[in-house]
Amino acid sequence: MGEVYKISRAEATPTFAHAVETYLAAHTLAGAWANGTATKYRQTLTALAAWLAASPVGADVAALDTPAGRAALTAAYTAAFGSSAPATRVRHLSTLRSACSWWRGAGWLISDPTAGWARPAVPVDTTRALTRDQVAGLWRLDVAVRDKTLWRMLYETAARAEEILTLEADDLDLPNKRARVVSKGGKTEWVFWQTGTALLLPRLIAGRTRGPLFLADRRPTRAVATNDLCPVTGRARLSYRRAAEIFEETTRPLADPVDRAQGWTLHQLRHSMLTHEAENGTSTPTLLARSRHTSVRSLARYARPGPEAVAAHVAATDPAARRRREPAR
């Protein structure tokens, strides 16, 4: 694909924004992406374009071959994504590197402006499932409808937080209690919720049919990618970082006494639903479909009954207790 756009360095190179659009168009026309991947790539690259356009080096993509341009790109990437979760930063960095590689093939860049950047380390998940009583306590908290809806949706869908936070209002299929999400690898999949989420969603969207589903409290004070801006309210998409902060701070009083200094993580809601369904006897194929894992090995750490469920099972299968329950003959 790069040969179609091959140019001489003597010719004028495009702006970063134009280079982004050309890169996206070339891959879309070639059918190189699954549904939804182009949207993810656009979100990453247009966010960087907005920062670079306001930088001292200007908007010319060829400036990224200069020390000043590389420094500006580093600053833009940090400003746009530095507060994101490590796995999210990995995705953004992969997108940027893919685009830079294509631009080098097109003759618009000579070097790789991301050379030397360390790949963000994604920590191993060590979170544990919440008990059913803890989840029930969470629903009793007096919080904003946005946060209550997000937490309910994460638990009932067993979806990843990043998938739910990137939902658009028009992704929802309210009558069927489901929504399209862009999963790992750019795959478009369905997630399903229950009555708790279904009752909250109409209050959250308040008639909105476009724009991000979950919005920040205020209008943005800096440039935001168009896809992350609500055309109705002018507010930006709620970030993972802010959503995680709110959840952690709000749940501190509910945490175990030894963990009281720190609340819960958003990922624990996904973990908890899968664990509770395993405790209920849900079959492995259904758990795989709910979690959208591709292997039982990946699912195993989630679908592990908690101490309370094990204790109940041991008590229920105690021979002495069973004899006490049996009627005398």
Amino acid at 302: Y
Q: Would you give the DSSP letter of residue 222?
A: S
Residue 241 backbone phi and psi in degrees, to 5 = -60, -45
Q: How far, in Å, CA of 279 to CA of 28, rounded?
A: 44
Q: How far, in Å, CA of 45 to CA of 73, rounded?
A: 11
Residue 168 backbone phi and psi in degrees, to 5 = -105, 155
**The model's pTM:** 0.60
Q: How many residues belong to the chain?
A: 329
Checking DSSP bridges between strand 172-173 and strand 188-192, what pairing results, if any?
unpaired
Residue position matching structure tokens 């306001």:
54
Q: What 3-state DSSP class applies to 7?
A: coil
Three-state SS for 46-61 is: HHHHHHHHCCCCCCEH
Number of Cα atoms under 13 Å in the Cβ half of residue 28: 14
Q: How far, in Å, CA of 126 to CA of 302, rounded?
A: 11
Residues 6+ apart with CB under 8 A from 267: 125, 127, 160, 161
Residues 6+ apart with CB under 8 A from 211: 168, 169, 229, 230, 231, 232, 233
Helices 240-250, 145-157: crossing angle, 10 deg rounding: 100
Q: What 3-state DSSP class applies to 111?
A: coil
Query: Which residue from 127, 125, 133, 126 is spatially nearest to 254, judged by alpha carbons?
Result: 133
> Going residue by residue through the chain (329 aa), what tens digit of pLDDT does each one get?
444 444 444 456 788 889 999 998 887 765 655 546 778 888 899 999 888 888 877 668 888 999 999 999 999 999 988 888 787 888 899 999 999 999 999 999 999 999 999 888 766 555 578 989 999 999 999 999 999 999 999 999 999 999 999 999 999 999 999 999 988 767 889 999 999 999 999 999 998 999 999 999 989 888 878 888 999 899 999 999 999 999 999 998 887 655 455 789 999 999 999 999 988 888 888 888 888 877 777 777 776 666 776 677 677 777 776 555 666 55
Dihedral sign (CA 163, 165, 166, 171):
positive
Q: Which residues pair with 188 in a beta bridge?
A: 182
Give the pLDDT score at 10. Answer: 41
Residue 105 backbone phi and psi in degrees, to 5 = -65, -30
Give the pLDDT score at 4. Answer: 41
Instruction: Centre a 10 Å sphere on the Cβ of residue 202 and count the other Cβ atoms it contains.
Output: 11
